[in-house]
Amino acid sequence: MATGKIAVRVVLDTADIDRKVEELAGLIKSRFPDGAPDFLDSHLSSVCDDIILTDGPPATGADGTDQIVQRVDFGRRFDDLATAIRTGNFNAH
């Protein structure tokens, strides 16, 4: 079997994260109209540390290039934070 090297470009599809960031920004603006309180900083950092590869195999480029597209999303911490903002209960988790 012949072996060789090939350059492959890996692309992260962040569409799910983009949508959720917009959702979270809307929640924060509606819950805290005068600006986000300082204690949210640690919660937001926690969400940013919880990025996962989504289920399913990565897609390859349709144009014949050697490209792999992998979708990424936030893990559970996003849902926990969104719920805490909606309910005002930041001590549940």
Residue 8 within any structural domain of the chain: no
pLDDT at 58: 66
**Quick check: is 69 in a domain?**
yes
Determine, yes or no, domain membership for 9. Answer: no
Q: Closest by alpha carbon to 49, among 22, 69, 75?
A: 75
In a domain, 7, yes or no: no
Taking the C-alpha atoms of residue 42 and residue 12, their distance in angstroms, rounded to an integer, is 25
Region class of 36: left (phi > 0), else alpha (psi between -120 and 50), else beta: beta
List the domain range (segments joined by +) for residue 75: 14-87
As for how many domains the chain has, the answer is 1
Residue 37 maps to a domain: yes
Query: In the predicted model, is pLDDT for residue 59 greater than 80?
Result: no
Structural domain includes residue 39: yes
6 in a structural domain? no
Q: pTM (2 decimals)? A: 0.76
Q: What is the pLDDT of residue 68?
A: 83
Residue 73 has a pLDDT of 97
